[in-house]
Amino acid sequence: MGIQKKDITCPHCHKKNVWTEDNMFRPFCSERCQLIDLGGWASEQHRIVGDPISSANSDEFDESGSPE
């Protein structure tokens, strides 16, 4: 049903590559390029990983019929 093919270039080694559903390393040409690129990305932007859950909304629905 949704077979997509698209000419792409590996972001890491700039090798010509084809984007298919078969290519599990897309947009990279191989697992190696994917790992290298993702590894570099992760080590560079390591600080982005945090908890996006803010505790500011912890008091929602707190005033449902508060007696005096």
CB closer to Zn ion, 8 vs 13: 13
| Exposure letters 44-55 (e unless 16+ CB within 10 A, then b) | eeeeeeeeeeee
* Choice between 33 and 65, CB closer to Zn ion: 33
Which chain residues interact with Zn ion by CB under 5 A? 10, 12-13, 15, 29, 33
Residue 33: its H or E element: helix 31-44
Nearest-approach distance from CB 52 to Zn ion, in angstroms: 31
Compute the least distance from the CB of residue 6 to Zn ion, in Å.
16
Nearer to Zn ion, 22 or 62 (CB): 22
Residues 13, 17, 22, CA angle at the centre, nearest 5°?
120
